[in-house]
Every structure is written in C-alpha cells, then in structure tokens.
Structure 1
C-alpha cells in the first residue's frame, strides 16, 4: 500500500496521502474531479492533486448553465446534442438542490443566422432527442416543452428589446448550475467518500520517468509549506485545463501536445428584471446569454483565442467587455446602463491545436514513449460526468495489464455524497431540513440557504452554530447574501480552505455575487485567522491581497 506522506494531513479530503497509487489525476476542476470520482468509484487507488484550490480556474468562471445541446443542433453536432441532453438529466439526479430547470427565450430576427422556421424545426428534432429527459426527477425540477412566443408577447415581457426586424422567440428549458463552486465541492466529497484522496494547494513540479521508461508518477510540492515529495502511480492523468502544457513541462514537445487557449468573459450585473434567460445575437455576430441568477444578471460570454500564460490571459480586457456591450446595445432600444455592471468573470479553457470539436479529447502518450500518461483537452460542466466515465474506461482498456481488477460503477443515477434523499420535490427536502437541529438559533431563510448550498452537510454547519450561537451572525448583513459565520469556520475545518479566496469565493456564496465589502472580508479573516495560525500581520496582508485581486476584476470597468 506504500508509506504515508504527512505534509498534507491537515487538509487532505479522504484517506491520508500515500506514496503510491493506481491513478493520479492532476487538476481539480470539473473534469479532473469527475475523472477522480470515476477512478475511485471503480475501486482504483486514486489521488487528485490541485495546484491552487478546487474549482479555482475555469470551472468557477461559467455561464451557470448546464446546456441541453440546442446550440449543437444548430451546428449539426447531433452527437454532442444527444449527450448534453442526457448529461443534464444525470446531473439533475446527482444534485437536484444545485441543478434546477431554467427557461430561456431564444430571440429571432429577420437577419438571424439560423432562420426562425429552420430553428423551429431544429427545436422539434431536439425535443425528439430529449424525450423523457426529466423522467424521474423531482416534481419541481421538471422541464417544459419548447414553445413559440410571438413578437407582441415577447415585447410585452422584454420591453427593452429593439422591435426592428424582430420576429419573436422560442422558449425552451435547460438547467441552471446554481452554485458551480458548491457542486464541485460536493463532487470532491464524493471522491473522498468513495475512497479517493484529494489535495489542494499542491503543485506537480515534475513528471517522474521519461521517454521509453514511461511516466511513473509525479513530484509534488506543498505550496503552503514548501515541502516536496515523490508519489508513484501506474497511471497519471493530466486534466489541468489551461495548464496541461505546463504539467507536461519539458515533455510537451516529445509528447506532441500543442494547446490553444480560449478565454470566455462574462459581465456580472445587477438585477435587470428578467424572469427567464434570454439568448440574442448582436449585429457584430456575437451570441450572448442574459441569465437571471441570485437577484443578479450574468451576461456573456465573449469567446476569444488567447496566447501566453493562462493566468495572465484570463483577465477580461476593455475590448472583451466592449464586444459584449456592443452586441447587447445593437439589439436594445437604448444602450445598456454601464453602472449596473458589478464585475467581470473570465476563465480560459484549452483545446488541442487544430481541434474543431467543442467536446473533449483523450490522448494516450504511450505511442510517444510515455506509457502511463494520459492528457485530456476540452470538456465542460455539461459533459463532465461523461468525461470522467470515458477517460477511466479508456485508461482501463489501455492499461488493463498493469492495473488491478476493478468493480463496476454506473454514475448516471447516483446521488452525490451530500445530496438529499428521495423526496417528491426539492422544496420538500428543504422543508424537511428546516426541522433539523432545532437548537441552532437560525432563521428560516438562512436555514434554507444552507440546505441549498450544502445539501446534507448543512447539518454540520448547524452543529457549529449549536456549539457557538455567535456563529449564526450574518457575514454581510447590509446585502441580500444570507451567508453566516459558521460557514467560514466549516470551510477551514472540513473543506480544506486555506485562504480568503478559498473561503469567500468558493465555499461561501458572498464572493460569487460581486465585489465583497471590505468589512465582510475583515470579518471572515477574523474567523479563520486563529484556525490557520495567522498572526495580525499575516491577517492584514491576506485581507489587503484579497481586496487588491478583487479590484483587478473591476478595474477594466473604469475604462469604459
């Protein structure tokens, strides 16, 4: 079984880290976590390694949509459309409290790229592909059938639309990924409860082995302590997203991997009164989504190819923002009020150079002399489960002579570890949650907020409040965010958070809703500093760095 490596004992999710595994997965985004979930689910000794924090990259910079493949139908990508329809349903089974139906209006104009009648035929074909896609889901997670909305009715609902050349809209349902950060953490918990181990703030600095010998494991550095260790593995899977070429390092050329990077930029705005999502194509050709979310509106994305370091390239530029606003203004009666923009959200995703697919590609480097090394490019939230399943199926097929016997694992209809049980509706599961831990003095709204974010783990947050009633205090009482102090403590004690960004941006809701007030940042720092051993100087430094980084996402707005 190998020896233990103690440097990660303070934060490992799952069993203690050893120096030998069947499978190491590099990258703690949605693809890497789903790969680790399926590896552990098959009974393989699995270690997931994330350089920063789980979901710190592109997995948090999303449109909040689990797409149902309708756009793929328009591009005649029927396979991806069928897969997306199925995968949306499976995610609905896995975490119905975090994945909910979402209605969207697809606006048609006389000059639209896809003519309205043609698009309607595509909707009908899409409906046939998706028959039964909500069967078995909770009653309040059922999706409706596509329907046409006339120009008159559309303008009654969306009075800001420019009526010129307007035909009407098709209304259809996909799924809203309400809190992608929390959904990813639920998947990490599932990896751990399946016997896998997961560590964050751990950087793979070297792939062990080389050409001919194959890849035999990794050298990993704890970015918090600076310590390093070699960990052996039969198979190493590079799922580092935009950083796959950095993981390959000196072997990227002999391993024949050339990557292109694509940046997606969104604008997080205040509530503009939408009751459902809207999809429009601007006169500049850019198709954007306007998504009502958490009393806010998400607008984007603007997808552009970028070069250079993924960390530097991921920031939104003035040109990115202006492109989105130009598209929106061109279909509106009046220019969008720039004062409504709270911040920008952006992330980078990779593709193998020359790839035309929006799906994903699995590359086995054995033919280049690097047996035991696999690289994933592409992937998405929608297809994440399928990525995990197919990558591990490929690994088992190619490395069957070196891996131990495995068990069967079908993740399609399996709840995540923190999902509620079998309720008729999501609302019913929340009502049941209201009577748990009655001694915890917390209001109805806050209790439902915790249940929606944490699933069954909300009980552990309530337990902290029972032990210390002061932890029921709201963290941002002057806002609509319902986060409470106990969540910050839980983030460190149970969810491996090790910094303010980990806590505010990926464990709590407050950091996802726009710039966090300095007072709230300071309050959270006060809560976690003693848990992490920070002195006053370290606490002040962490607060200053968080606020400075937050400013980088809004600075571009000052140039509009």
Structure 2
C-alpha cells in the first residue's frame, strides 16, 4: 500500500471519497472491489478522527428491543456476524452483564424476556464453525454467580444479572488499516495527510476536489465522476468549501472513552446505570437513566461512552479540563467502587459524533441513531456530490454497500454485486483461530523465533504476520526492554502502510500507544527507525516525539 499522489493527480476516477474513517474506508473498499476506479483522500490519517474513539464494541442490536426495531436488530446481528467471520483475528465474542433489581424493566423477568427475544431474532448470529468465534445464548444469572464474575461493581439490591454476548474489536486501528489495504489491493488510490481545500466545479456540477499534500504544501486536483463526502464530523466543513451549497449544519456532540491502566473486571463487560443523561426519545420502553459500559482492554479497562453537547466548528474542537472533569464526575458517581483517580487514566479518546439535539436543557446530547446518504443533486441542486453520515462502527459495511449502490445509480450503471460480506479483510483468511495460532507458533519455533512473539504478531496481523516479520528481518527484536512492539513492525508501517509521522505509528499502526503513553526509550527507538526510513533531521525527530507526548498530557486545571 503506497501513498500515490502522482496517480491521484493524473487520472479521472469514477468516485472520489473524502474521509478515511471507517465509513470512508468501507465505501472505498466496497467500490474498488466492485470494479470502480476509486480515489480516497484524508486530511489526517486512517481513523485519526472518531473512528478510533469507541468502546471497541460491535453491537448486535439488543438495545433496539426498547424501540421494537427488529429491522435494525437484524441489520446489526448480520454485520456483527460478518465481522467475526471476515476478521477473526481482530474481533472476538465478549460477554456483557447487566445487573437486575426489582420487578420492572430492570427485573429478572423483563430481562429474561429481552434475552429470549434477542436470541430468537438472532437465530443465525453465527457464521463460523470456530467455537471461539461463536456467540452463546443469553441467560439470567443468580446474584451469587454475578458476584463471582464481577466481585465489585454490583448494586446492593442486585437480584441477579442478564448475560448476553456481543463482539469486541481487539484493535480497531488495525481493522481500519486492513480496510485501507483491501481497498488498495483492489485498485483504489489512497492518500493520507492530504486535506481537501476546495470542491471543483465544472459548469453546474461538482467534478472533484483540490487536495493539498500535507508534507509539501503543494496543491493539485483530483477529478472524479462523483465525489462522496464521508468526512465524519467535518462533513459540513467540506460542504462549506462551496458557497453554492447551502446545507443545514449537522449538530455535533463530544464523545469520550477512558482507557484505565488497571483491570476493573474479569473477562466480561459490565453495564452500569447512571442517573445522568437525557432519555431516548425513540424508545417504547422509557428509561430515565443511561448506561456506561466497562470492558476489559489489554491489561486494563475501557469506560464509556460519555457525551456532551458541542457548538462550534469541528476543526476547533479541543479536549478540555471541563470535558475530563465532567466525565470523571459521572464515572465516580456511577461506580464509586472503582475509586478512579486521574492517575489511573492511561488515555482519553475524545472526538465528535452527529447528534440530533441537546436534550432540552442544553447539558445533554441526544445522538443521531440513523445513517444518512444525501444526494445533493436532489437536496441542493448540486449534482456530482454525495454526503454520507454514519452513526456507528457496526453497520459501516452495510452503509458502504448502500452508498455504492447509490453511486452506481447516479452514474447510470447497473450495480455490480457487493462482495464485502464474503471477502475476508487482509489477514483474516482463518477458519479456526486456535489451530491457526498453534500452527504459526510451531512454524516460528522451527525458524528459531520466539513462539510468544509469533503468537502476538499472528493475533495482530493474522495470516500476514510472516510478511511483516520477513520484510525487516534485521528488526526482529523489541524496540526497548519491556516493549512488545518489534522494530520490524515500525519498519513495515513506514514501508508498506503509509505511516508518515510518529503519531501514525504509535497510535494507528502499532499498539505502542493504544492503552497508555509509550515509554521514553521505546518512543525514541521508534522515532529513530522512522527517521532512518524517511530521512528526518534531528530537529524533526524531536518534534515528532514531542507531538506524541502531547497526546497523553491531560488538560491543565484552569486557575
């Protein structure tokens, strides 16, 4: 996978996609697999926006029962099944526990009915014979069994718990890179760190975009028969580049997830009620609370998602002390047993999501729940432009399929079949994960390599791990004492995965910094490898290290 600006500038594409978050990448991959000529550009890096800011959960739609929305349940169940089958090294089942109490909606009987309906609607939830990637049926547990699973965190009036299974992304950033690799392998031309500076117009039609090379500042046109704006929170900012497009701005909310450096649970996730928040206006069964989830993550935990309203341009959003203190207050109120301090936090993911309102009091955000595909030819009389607003990771593939069907319709061509439901992501060609890992560890030992290291690489890169190791066999040692990341991973990221700066490498190509700040020695070693590969000066290397360190500094207390 190469960053090919020369081809971007020289060709005319069927579709130009703006935005390399999960939705933009899914659209580019789907379109390229169907034979369209695709260009994909992004102002920052793959998933640098909100696609990396999540609880890493692939939802099966249990929450849609309160809406009696069985169509969305079926959609979510199908998409969860597809991800478990096409990326088995990066997605696995995870149990979730919701404590029960009383005799109403929170009681054992009501939750037992909900779990039975969920299993009935999801009768085909498994698409693999691999027992480790199959989802067990939900069930109601006794209070004593709940306390065995979750020794802390259960309310005093707990009568038991509802246990159901969804899926967890082991590495959402690696999933995004895999989507980019799949799109590239199918012929898409990709460029990260290439912001769009203008929408190009020929007569009354949008015919592409003007792109700036973030490395050099040079600008050039990228032409396409159709432009798809999938810029996420910056969707309106792209539209505002053309004064002829008078779109109503999409309300936004701040979304935050905490990475905690210590484990708070065992091997299940826990749903915790909090009295804060606005009720869901679409729900048939109304609840006055909202849920925070705690999930096991690496050697620690993830807590989220917390939402606050946001007003202002998306480019000006900055994570502030107010955001952090508001989140910590809600966590401490909802789960005092965790005794969470600021020192426990390894990383805060913060970004912007589409919302529909502020809940009436201006203090709470009500999130958008339905994706949108906007044909500006119909809405604003501006042909040649689509805008796509996704609302969750789980259904990004399905939204991409519908978007590409729309692209074919606008181009006046019969849609080719969508292939993404059956096409494994790169590295995901695995029938049985345990057998695969055992085979790869055995092979590695025969080569004189560490079986433990081989297992970690195989879990991260799937069937491509040998390619990673072989591409830089001189760097098969960890970056620093105590580090799990190999120099070969850093080298591979630069040579084959379009890592252009140290933040790309630390946050989205390796797992150096996905749970907490990397150590100083590890960070310097990674920067040294990138400097050798990319010809950085000592001054540039120092700036790159400082940029990474700034990501893990919490906002200062306002005097």
**Which residue of structure 2 aligns with residue 546 of structure 1?**
548
More divergent stretch after superposition (281-290 vs 376-385):
281-290
**Which residue of structure 2 aligns with residue 411 of structure 1?**
420
More divergent stretch after superposition (268-277 vs 437-446):
437-446
Cα distance between partner residues in 1 of 2:521 and 2:394: 36
- Note the C-alpha offset of 1:282: 2.0
1:121 and 2:128 aligned: no
1:516 and 2:518 aligned: yes
For 1:284-433, list aligned pairs within 5 A.
284=276, 285-313=289-317, 315=319, 317-333=321-337, 335-351=339-355, 357-367=368-378, 368-400=380-412, 407-421=416-430, 423=431, 425-433=432-440
**Which residue of structure 1 aligns with residue 89 of structure 2?**
97
More divergent stretch after superposition (43-52 vs 157-166):
157-166
Cα distance between partner residues in 2 of 1:399 and 1:114: 51
Q: In the comparison of the two structures, how many residue pairs are matched?
A: 537
- Note the C-alpha offset of 1:60: 0.7
What's the C-alpha RMSD, in Å, of the aligned pairs?
2.6
Cα distance between partner residues in 2 of 1:328 and 1:130: 35
Indicate how the Cα distance of structure 1 residues 136 and 259 shifts in structure 2: closer, same or farther if over 3 A, else same: same
More divergent stretch after superposition (318-327 vs 145-154):
318-327
- Note the C-alpha offset of 1:542: 1.5
- For structure 1, the residue ranges without an aligned partner over 5 or more in a row are 1-8
CA offset digits 1:363-388 (Å, max 9, x no partner): 00002221010001133210011011
Cα distance between partner residues in 2 of 1:88 and 1:17: 37
1:500 and 2:502 aligned: yes
CA offset digits 1:242-277 (Å, max 9, x no partner): 001111124377342421112211111122242211
Q: Secondary structure at the match of 1:370?
A: coil
Indicate how the Cα distance of structure 1 residues 430 and 316 shifts in structure 2: closer, same or farther if over 3 A, else same: farther
CA offset digits 1:22-46 (Å, max 9, x no partner): 0000000000000011111111100
Q: Secondary structure at the match of 1:510?
A: coil
Indicate how the Cα distance of structure 1 residues 330 and 35 shifts in structure 2: closer, same or farther if over 3 A, else same: closer
Question: Under a length normalisation based on structure 1, what TM-score does the superposition of the two structures give?
Answer: 0.89
Cα distance between partner residues in 1 of 2:148 and 2:445: 46
- Note the C-alpha offset of 1:291: 0.3
Q: Secondary structure at the match of 2:513?
A: helix
Indicate how the Cα distance of structure 1 residues 162 and 112 shifts in structure 2: closer, same or farther if over 3 A, else same: farther
Question: Under a length normalisation based on structure 2, what TM-score does the superposition of the two structures give?
Answer: 0.90
Indicate how the Cα distance of structure 1 residues 318 and 475 shifts in structure 2: closer, same or farther if over 3 A, else same: farther
Retained in 2: the 8 A contact 1:277–1:291? yes
Indicate how the Cα distance of structure 1 residues 333 and 195 shifts in structure 2: closer, same or farther if over 3 A, else same: closer
**Which residue of structure 2 aligns with residue 4 of structure 1?**
none
**Which residue of structure 1 aligns with residue 283 of structure 2?**
none
1:434 and 2:441 aligned: yes
Retained in 2: the 8 A contact 1:365–1:373? yes
Indicate how the Cα distance of structure 1 residues 306 and 113 shifts in structure 2: closer, same or farther if over 3 A, else same: farther
Indicate how the Cα distance of structure 1 residues 397 and 115 shifts in structure 2: closer, same or farther if over 3 A, else same: farther
- Note the C-alpha offset of 1:293: 1.4
- Note the C-alpha offset of 1:157: 2.9
Cα distance between partner residues in 2 of 1:17 and 1:438: 47
Retained in 2: the 8 A contact 1:149–1:170? yes
- Note the C-alpha offset of 1:113: 6.2
Cα distance between partner residues in 2 of 1:76 and 1:334: 34
For 1:67-466, list aligned pairs within 5 A.
67-110=59-102, 114-209=106-201, 213-251=204-242, 254-269=245-260, 270-284=262-276, 285-313=289-317, 315=319, 317-333=321-337, 335-351=339-355, 357-367=368-378, 368-400=380-412, 407-421=416-430, 423=431, 425-436=432-443, 441-466=448-473
- For structure 2, the residue ranges without an aligned partner over 5 or more in a row are 277-288, 359-365
Cα distance between partner residues in 1 of 2:334 and 2:498: 46
Cα distance between partner residues in 2 of 1:365 and 1:427: 48
Retained in 2: the 8 A contact 1:148–1:168? yes
